[in-house]
Amino acid sequence: MDTVKELNVLRKANKNKWVSGIFVYNGKSVSYKAYNTWVQVLDVDGVRYSSGMDISVKDYMVFLKGIFA
């Protein structure tokens, strides 16, 4: 399973809860903190990203695919 799908499964399994984790993607250190579709912090090897609050699932997926493409 790819990273975007894994994060979406994690989101669905933890509705209305904060989710955080640290993992490695393509040899890069990644830290992730999100609440539903709001990605508050996504750090990929020191480059920090965040999404808008309460975005649609479609926009959430587009956001993640833009980073992990």
The pLDDT tens digits for 22-54 are 999 989 999 999 999 999 999 999 999 999 999
Average of per-residue pLDDT values in the chain: 95
Q: Is the pTM of this model over 0.85?
A: yes
First and final C-alpha spacing in the chain: 14
Task: Please name the residues in contact with 50: beta carbons below 8 A apart, sequence gap of 6 or more.
Answer: 39, 40, 41, 42
pLDDT at residue number 1: 55
pLDDT at 60 over 90: yes
pLDDT at residue number 69: 81
